[in-house]
Structure 1
Amino acid sequence: MRITETAVRDAYRIEPEPIPDHRGTFREGLRHSALLAATGHDFRVRQVNFTVSGRNVLRGIHGTTVPPGQGKIVTCVRGAALTVLVDLRVGSPTFGHHDSLRQDAGSGTAVYLPDGLGLGYVALTDDTCMNYLCTEEYVHGTIVDVDALDPELALPWGLTEPPVRSARDAAAPSLAAAAAAGLLPTYEECLRAYPKAPAPRG
């Protein structure tokens, strides 16, 4: 697999290499040692989530407070989505920066986001299913919401019609308002929270 950093610091794109034969294909979706070597983070799964969305459903931008934090690896396992990541860490060199990628079931391309980064996506097909591998279990009240249509962020959704959103997402504050209200984690908090590999024994 290829693991490459995105335009958002500490976020990585994971592109598996399919191995085809007469039955179909095989691919590795995640190899712990390869992700550790690329990121320096000891990714451990403590919760698995799925979302299913109709075409033109826009979810996000969602992050998590630190603590507890919640790193994620997100993959599209059915359908297709345009995924956007945003740096929500106040004081980060890439605070407010974003990157985007198309994810679909055929490619298996995943994105890794550690604590402090936000994610949203718009479903490009009906019955789009996204899979989340999470480093922490969900804790009520710790989700950070930022308006995916914040004009200052100007995220590249490519919408041709108004998206379908939850009432909560539609009411989310802009990035600037969320920062002013103290809702966002700091870069320093997130760096301290990132999981490090255990020291070798002996």
Structure 2
Amino acid sequence: MRFIETSLPGAWVIEPEPHYDERGFFARTWCEREFREHGIAMAVRQCNLSGNRARGILRGLHYQASPHAEAKVVSCLRGAIHDVIVDLRPDSPSFKRHAAVELSPGNGRMLYVPPGMAHGYQTLTDDALVHYLMSEHYVAEAQRGVRWDDPAFGIEWPAVEARIISARDLAYPDFLG
């Protein structure tokens, strides 16, 4: 696997290195040793799938509060997404900055999201399927979010004719931290 640092400390874009032959390819998507060599000591406690029926669906920006803060490895198994993370760690040199990457089966990229960062994405295609490896179990009482269009973050989301956002995600407040 190839680990590419993002502009946010501790967050990585991960590219599998496929090995091809006449049958197709084989690639590793998780190796505890390689992740640890890049400062990622993440136990996988839960895996999630998110199916998205249409282009323009925006999910996020979500995180879990301490002591249930979670790390994630996000990949797109079908379709394509514009994946965004925002650094909400007050002591971080990149506090309130964001990074974005396109994830799709075609590019094979994954995004490692460290604890203390909010995560969200917008679908770029119909029928996008997103997979998450999670370091913590979901705890409803710890679920938090910030507004997708909060001016404090300055995120430029891809333009779409119709953006679809849940009522919960629309109700998140601006970030005051």
Amino acid at match of 1:45: V
**Residue 194 of structure 1 corresponds to which residue in structure 2?**
none
Matches of 1:12 and 1:84, distance apart in 2: 12
- Counting only pairs closer than 5 Å after superposition, residues 41-60 of structure 1 correspond to structure 2 as 41-53=40-52, 54-60=54-60
Matched residue type, 1:147: R
Matches within 5 A, 1:38-187: 38-39=38-39, 41-53=40-52, 54-176=54-176, 179=177
Question: How far 1:153 sits from its partner (Å)?
Answer: 1.5
Looking at structure 1, the residues matched to 25 and 139 of structure 2 have their Cα atoms a distance apart, in angstroms, of 37
Tell whether the 8 Å contact from 2:96 to 2:152 is kept in structure 1 after alignment.
no
Q: CA RMSD in A?
A: 1.2
Aligned partner of 1:187 in structure 2 is none
Q: CA deviation at 1:162?
A: 4.1
**How far apart are 1:160 and its partner, in Å?**
3.1
Contact 1:100–1:156 (CA under 8 A) maintained in structure 2:
no
Shift of 1:161: 2.9
1:17 is displaced (CA, Å) by: 1.1
1:37-63 per-residue CA deviation (whole Å, 9 max, x = no partner) reads 012x32111100000112100001111
Contact 1:96/1:153, CA 8 A, preserved across alignment: yes
Pairwise CA distance, 1:22: 1.5
State how many pairs are aligned.
176
Asked whether the equivalents of residues 63 and 119 of structure 2 are also in contact (C-alpha less than 8 Å), the reply is yes
* TM-score normalised over the length of structure 1: 0.83
Distance, in Å, in 2 between the alignment partners of 1:34 and 1:10 is 14
- 3-state DSSP class of the match of 1:89? coil
Q: TM-score normalised to the size of structure 2?
A: 0.95
The residue matched to 1:120 in structure 2 has which SS?
Answer: strand
* Cα distance in structure 2, aligned partners of 1:150 and 1:157: 12
Identity of aligned residues (%): 38
Say which SS state the counterpart of residue 144 (structure 1) adopts: strand
The structure with the larger Rg is 1
Deviation at 1:99, TM superposition (A): 0.7
Deviation per CA, 1:100-153: give whole Å up to 9, x if none. Answer: 100001222101112101111000111101101011111112112011111231
* Offset of residue 76 of structure 1: 0.6
Runs of 4+ in 1 over 6 A off after TM superposition: none
Contact 2:57 2:165 in 1 (8 A): yes
Q: Structure 1 regions of 5+ residues with no counterpart?
A: 180-202
Number of the residue aligned with 2:8: 8
Tell me, which stretches of 5 or more residues in structure 2 are unaligned? Answer: none
Q: Quick one: which amino acid aligns to residue 58 of structure 1? A: L
- Secondary structure of 1:35's counterpart equals helix
